[in-house]
């Protein structure tokens, strides 16, 4: 499940939120939980960076911790079968 980091421009409060894939694509409509301003920014999170980095050569990434490996396999399952990234990642993490 995607994990977003949000930051408030008004009071600089930062927090994390979890969303389903459907909600993930929607713009943030929640006010800041601290000051209730609507000046909320989405920060780039690890999940988004990993998705953008599917051209990375995962076979050179060794000794990953189990939870990270499981997460990567879940991401690989969501990738297009035609771009080669899925099989490349599964070769690494099986
Ligand atoms: Zn705030």
* C-alpha closest to that of 17 among 49, 51, 41, 50: 41
What is the Å distance from ligand 1's center to 13 Cα? Answer: 5
The domain spans of the chain are 3-42, 58-94
**Mean per-residue pLDDT, 17-34:** 73
- One DSSP character per residue, 3-33 reads EEEEEETTT--EEEEE--HHHHTSPP-PPPT
User: How does pLDDT run across 48-70, given as a tens digit for each residue?
Assistant: 445 555 566 656 666 667 777 78
More confident residue, 45 or 88: 88
- Show the tokens assigned to 37: 């301003």
What is the Å distance from ligand 1's center to 14 Cα? Answer: 8
pTM for this prediction: 0.40
């Amino acid at each position: 499940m995607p994990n977003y980091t949000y930051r408030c421009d008004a009071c600089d409060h930062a927090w994390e939120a979890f969303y389903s894939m459907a909600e993930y694509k929607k713009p943030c409509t929640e006010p800041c939980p601290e000051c209730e301003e609507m000046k909320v920014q989405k920060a780039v999170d690890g999940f988004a960076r990993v998705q953008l980095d599917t051209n990375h050569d995962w076979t050179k990434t060794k000794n990953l911790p189990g939870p990270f490996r499981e997460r990567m396999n879940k991401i690989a399952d969501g990738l297009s079968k035609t771009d080669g990234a899925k099989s490349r990642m599964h070769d690494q993490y099986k």
